[in-house]
Amino acid sequence: METVYFDNNATTRVADEVFEEIKPYFCELYGNPSSMHTFGGQVGIKMREARGKVAALLGCDPSEIIFTGCGTESDNTAINGTLAAYPDKRKVITSRVEHPAVLQVCRELEHKGYTVVEIGVDKKGRLDLTELEEQIDEDTALVTIMYSNNETGVIFPIDKIAELTEDKGVVFHTDAVQTVGKIPLNLSRSNIDLLSISGHKLHAPKGIGVLYVRKGTRLSPYMVGGHQEGGKRAGTENVPGIIGLGKACELAAENIEAENNKVRKLRDKLENAILQRCPDSMLNGDKENRLPNTSNISFEYVEGEAILLMLDKFGICASSGSACTSGSLEPSHVLRAMGVPFTAAHGSIRFSLSRYNTEQEVDYTIEKIPDIINRLRELSPFVTKK
């Protein structure tokens, strides 16, 4: 077996159909879409079509789509652009389990004198909605809560939160970087004001993102210096990225249900077999309200990094919730927020699948993992030998 890629929440393979679609935009159709000539103008037309495809997947109007450079830029723009548009309001509400593209921006705001409230989650990673509702007050400019979590796949009740913020007249942003393309969304039936997407999470290239801005939402531009994207995001557009994202959204819209079923079946087979065959292993996150492709499993008494290295030897790519910071292994902030015990949080592995995974890959991984865990436990100082 060559590479078994179970790290699709980190990034995805570009779809063949997407790759074919973007090829002409490097050496043939390389005009600037803002140019007056027909050569550039034809690119502008294709870009409009791509915008329409993204909007169709989201159920919104093409004029509500702003192309950005990545999910991180979309998140930064949503937060900083909202605060700049509401200079008298000084409070932001987020959650403890956000991606750093949101959490770090919010934490920096604290240094600038903003009040930042991080809403907690329970042991299954579910958001405390009562706390959220209590925290929204007159001073609140923005609520920014992710749609689904990148580590556990847990899906938050975003439409409910959007109703709440709508009632209270507060702007609501959601980081849907891990959600779009994995489960169906319909923004025409939602009160979400701002929503972030990243192309490379749904089989489009890296370096393209989207910020959905609902009509009427006040937002100051973050990047200035050009008229592109209706003056909301300056800079010559990443044309191949935009065309590729349009195609990826079209593919997702056509196939989302069949692919969900396929991916969920494979994920469940992998997850159930691991949990059955490895003693002292447990699922992290809400089993029910979860992305169909993600499984986060803790193996007690072993380090996630050691498991990853052993998996890597067999060509299996996954990722660990821990991050090696300044020489000490810090367990993931998401698992800590969920109260996952220290020994389990350190040994957590995220498997994230895509439509390109096969049953053979799942079977191969199921065969390798119990041995890997047993071997590591034999070396672990936390396991008492009988």
Interaction between residue 154 and ligand PLP (CB under 6 A): no
Interaction between residue 178 and ligand PLP (CB under 6 A): yes
Interaction between residue 72 and ligand PLP (CB under 6 A): yes
At residue 301, φ and ψ (nearest 5 deg) are: 70, 10
Is 9:351 a contact under the CB 8 Å cutoff? Answer: no
Which range binds ligand PLP by CB under 6 A, 65-73, 180-188, 211-219, 370-378?
Answer: 65-73
Interaction between residue 194 and ligand PLP (CB under 6 A): no
Around Cβ 340, how many Cβ atoms within 10 Å? 24
List 150, 190, 217, 320, residue binding ligand PLP (CB under 6 A) = 150
The active-site residue, picked from 60, 70, 278, 324, is: 324
Interaction between residue 354 and ligand PLP (CB under 6 A): no
Which range binds ligand PLP by CB under 6 A, 172-180, 210-218, 336-344, 372-380?
Answer: 172-180
Q: DSSP 3-state helix, strand, coil percentages of the chain (rounded to 5)? A: 45, 20, 40
Residue 110 structure tokens: 């604290």
Q: How far is the CB of 83 from ligand PLP (least distance, A)?
A: 19
Residue 23 structure tokens: 């090829």
Q: Is 27 a catalytic residue?
A: no
Q: How far apart are CA 137 and CA 216, in angstroms?
A: 21
Interaction between residue 244 and ligand PLP (CB under 6 A): no
List 60, 106, 136, 177, residue binding ligand PLP (CB under 6 A) = 177
By CB under 6 A, what part of segment 87-126 binds ligand PLP?
Answer: 99, 101
Is 354:203 a contact under the CB 8 Å cutoff? Answer: yes
DSSP state of 50: H
β strands within the chain, DSSP E: 4-5, 65-68, 91-95, 115-119, 140-144, 171-175, 194-198, 209-213, 281-283, 294-299, 316-317, 319-320, 323-325, 328-330, 348-352
Interaction between residue 15 and ligand PLP (CB under 6 A): no
Residue 288 structure tokens: 């029910």
List 21, 175, 271, 361, residue binding ligand PLP (CB under 6 A) = 175
Residue 176 structure tokens: 């849907």
Q: How far is the CB of 137 from ligand PLP (least distance, A)?
A: 27
Which range binds ligand PLP by CB under 6 A, 58-66, 170-178, 275-283, 366-374?
Answer: 170-178
Interaction between residue 146 and ligand PLP (CB under 6 A): yes
Residue 42 structure tokens: 């034809």
DSSP lists the bridge partners of residue 198 as 209
Q: Which residues are catalytic?
A: 324
Binding site for ligand PLP (CB under 6 A): 70-72, 75, 99, 101, 146, 150, 175, 177-178, 198, 209
